[in-house]
Amino acid sequence: MALRWQLLKRTVDNAKSALRHNQPGISLSGYFSTSPSFADAPPRLPPFDYQPRPYRGPSGDEVLLKRKKFLGPSLFHYYQKPLNIVEGKMQYLFDESGRRYLDAFAGIVTVSCGHCHPDILNAITEQSKLLQHATTIYLHHAIADFAEALAAKMPGNLKVVYFVNSGSEANELAMMMARLYTGNLEMISLRNAYHGGSSNTIGLTALNTWKYPLPQGEIHHAMNPDPYRGIFGSDASLYAKDVQDHIEYGTSGKVAGFIAETIQGVGGAVELAPGYLKQVYDIVRKAGGVCIADEVQTGFGRTGSHYWGFQTQDVIPDIVTMAKGIGNGLPLGAVVTTPEIASVLASKIQFNTYGGNPVCSAGGRAVLNVIDKEKRQSHCADVGPHLIQRLRDLQQRHDLIGDVRGRGLMVGVELVTDRKNKTPAKAETAVLFEQLRELGILIGKGGLHGNVFRIKPPMCFTKDDADFLAEALDYSMSRL
């Protein structure tokens, strides 16, 4: 194993050197080939009329040294040589040298409308000039206006909004709501899910390969309804029965709630088996529980077909949590629920010092306006299928691609060394990950085995960007 990783490192380093010196015929040992049937020239980024400012700050090496000295050692970074990103504009990022990269990950799906969108920047700047902070013990129109606009986007009776600072905090609050409203303690979440980094949400998460395995006595992890890797394929009924079994045999017969992402993000862009949530919501509600939809990554039109991910499963939850794309980079999250569930919190004080502060509220409202004005949902519905089709075309040519999945601009590409056995291609994924960066693409990586490319760009991502990404992936895979 050590020898294999030494070979991988040498391969990646050689690839970096060859591409930096603009050598079209890359001759590398072990993993890359120079067959004449492959295109000689690597694909190029689409044109973009923007010139970044000259960077005069500390170098990436200096930043890394300071980060290692003063920040927590648990922080990780992408790439063998970390990127020093200093500027962003729409779907592109720039490093300290001024080199442009296509951002196909949107800061972990956080940048919904594009980096430094002028409308959002203007809303934040103008509000900052007037008032940066006033807690909710005083009145301010920004939080009320934002809550009204957000509630208008929700179906059914989901009309009461709570603002927080992150997705972890949103899911913490949702879990507390469920327990207070039902009087029950036990929660059900899915294996392979991710719901945050706090002590309670880590218990919901069940990705203990890289999160702390804190003891959680009142949380049950149901079988993941994964159409590609799941034991029952796309049979939603059999997965739903597992939830029923947890309730009948693993609890007192009553639960506080069930929480799920509609498309698992960190878990590798896994879309749940069709019809799964409708069956499970019915089972959970009969057991006295409430249903929570985690829309931290799937919300705000990203799936293209619907504004909210849960709508793809034809359900209406009792509680919806959201963050990331809601603020286009601002520390902002929200929980939306019904007046009935919200009433249980009225018996005590529920307070958040920074949740819904004027600046974040102004920015969040601007995000909603931009999504509507620029028709970003329909844009995702147009560009997403084009990207997915390009990737599925690659799947026909490269046996390394085991699965292409997703909706709109939330896409996963799972790499395997054996399609029949679905053996995770961990080493190959690591090499391609570095190679794509050298070609100018920043992409996400995830899944239980770390073998899934997570493609979730800002929603201004174009068909030209999609073509470039597909061509770069084809170019890199052709040399493996």
What pLDDT score does 3 carry? Answer: 40
DSSP H/E element including 299 = none
Largest CA distance in the chain: 73
Q: Tell me: do 315 and 401 sit in the same domain.
A: no
What pLDDT score does 202 carry? Answer: 80
What pLDDT score does 200 carry? Answer: 81
What pLDDT score does 229 carry? Answer: 96
Rg of the chain on CA atoms, in Å:
23
Other residues' Cβ atoms within 10 Å of the Cβ of residue 141: 10
Domain count, the chain: 2
Predicted confidence (pLDDT) per residue in 467-476, tens digit = 999 999 999 9
Q: Tell me: do 241 and 329 sit in the same domain.
A: yes
Q: Is the pLDDT of residue 272 over 50?
A: yes
Instruction: Report CA-CA distances (Å) from 462 to 90, 310, 382, 467.
Output: 11, 25, 9, 9
The percent of residues in the chain predicted with pLDDT above 90, rounded, is 81
Structure tokens given for 62: 């200096």
Of 291, 328, 327, nearest to 310 by C-alpha is: 291
Residue ending a domain, choose from 345, 373, 401 = 373
Residue ending a domain, choose from 338, 373, 408 = 373
Of 418, 446, 405, nearest to 209 by C-alpha is: 446
Distance CA 122, CA 262 (A): 33
Cβ neighbours of residue 444 closer than 8 Å, sequence gap 6 or more: 104, 105, 108, 453, 454, 455, 456
Q: Is the pLDDT of residue 27 over 80?
A: no
Min mean pLDDT across 204-208, 209-213, 370-374 is at 209-213
Predicted confidence (pLDDT) per residue in 122-149, tens digit = 999 999 999 999 888 999 999 999 999 9
Of 344, 302, 298, nearest to 162 by C-alpha is: 344
Do strands 257-261 and 187-190 pair parallel, antiparallel, or not at all (unpaired)? parallel
Q: Answer yes or no: is 2 within a domain.
A: no
Q: Answer yes or no: is 440 within a domain.
A: yes
DSSP H/E element including 257 = strand 257-261
Q: Tell me: do 318 and 453 sit in the same domain.
A: no
Q: Tell me: do 447 and 463 sit in the same domain.
A: yes
What pLDDT score does 328 carry? Answer: 96
Section 225-236 average pLDDT = 97
Min mean pLDDT across 36-40, 370-374, 468-472 is at 36-40
Distance CA 319, CA 337 (A): 5
Residue ending a domain, choose from 323, 354, 373 = 373
Min mean pLDDT across 225-239, 345-359, 374-388 is at 345-359
What CATH number should be reported for the domain holding residue 211? 3.40.640.10
Instruction: Report CA-CA distances (Å) from 160 to 144, 264, 341, 358.
Output: 11, 25, 9, 18
Min mean pLDDT across 38-52, 221-235, 333-347, 359-373 is at 38-52
- Residue 364 sits at φ, ψ, to 5 deg, of -65, -40
Q: Which residue has the higher pLDDT, 457 or 4?
A: 457
Distance CA 325, CA 371 (A): 11
Q: Is the pLDDT of residue 429 over 70?
A: yes
Q: Answer yes or no: is 261 within a domain.
A: yes
Q: Tell me: do 72 and 188 sit in the same domain.
A: no
What CATH number should be reported for the domain holding residue 398? 3.90.1150.10
Cβ neighbours of residue 322 closer than 8 Å, sequence gap 6 or more: 167, 170, 295, 296, 299, 300, 333, 334, 335, 336
Q: Is 103 helix (H, G, I), strand (E, B) or coil?
A: strand
Q: Tell me: do 139 and 97 sit in the same domain.
A: no
Residue 103 banded pLDDT, cuts 50, 70, 90: very high
Other residues' Cβ atoms within 10 Å of the Cβ of residue 357: 26
Q: Is the pLDDT of residue 170 over 60?
A: yes
Residue 120 banded pLDDT, cuts 50, 70, 90: very high
Section 403-415 average pLDDT = 98
Q: Are 166 and 331 in contact (CB under 8 A)?
A: yes
Min mean pLDDT across 252-256, 275-279, 281-285 is at 252-256
Strand ranges (DSSP E) for 43-199? 85-89, 92-95, 100-103, 160-164, 187-190
Section 86-108 average pLDDT = 97
What pLDDT score does 180 carry? Answer: 94
Q: Answer yes or no: is 36 within a domain.
A: no
Q: 404 is in which domain, residue-wise?
A: 45-109+377-477
Whole-prediction pTM: 0.90
Q: Which residue has the higher pLDDT, 469 or 28?
A: 469
Distance CA 105, CA 436 (A): 13
Q: Answer yes or no: is 19 within a domain.
A: no
Instruction: Report CA-CA distances (Å) from 377 to 115, 380, 411, 459.
Output: 17, 5, 15, 8
Distance CA 439, CA 478 (A): 14
Q: Tell me: do 178 and 253 sit in the same domain.
A: yes
Q: Answer yes or no: is 14 within a domain.
A: no
Q: Tell me: do 223 and 135 sit in the same domain.
A: yes
Q: Is the pLDDT of residue 321 over 70?
A: yes
Distance CA 306, CA 311 (A): 6
The percent of residues in the chain predicted with pLDDT above 70, rounded, is 89
Of 299, 270, 312, nearest to 376 by C-alpha is: 299
Min mean pLDDT across 9-18, 88-97, 247-256, 303-312 is at 9-18
Q: Is the pLDDT of residue 13 over 60?
A: no
Q: Which residue has the higher pLDDT, 271 or 2?
A: 271
Residue 8 banded pLDDT, cuts 50, 70, 90: very low
Structure tokens given for 140: 């301010």
Instruction: Name the DSSP letter for residue 3.
Output: H
- CA within 13 Å, CB half, 290: 23
Q: Tell me: do 140 and 92 sit in the same domain.
A: no
Angle at 386 between CA 397 and CA 446, to 5 degrees: 70
| Residue-averaged pLDDT of the chain | 90
Q: Tell me: do 151 and 282 sit in the same domain.
A: yes
Q: Tell me: do 337 and 433 sit in the same domain.
A: no
Q: Answer yes or no: is 435 within a domain.
A: yes
What pLDDT score does 396 carry? Answer: 97
Q: Answer yes or no: is 30 within a domain.
A: no
Q: Is the pLDDT of residue 54 over 50?
A: yes
Angle at 446 between CA 442 and CA 451, to 5 degrees: 95
Q: Is the pLDDT of residue 85 over 80?
A: yes
Q: Tell me: do 105 and 142 sit in the same domain.
A: no
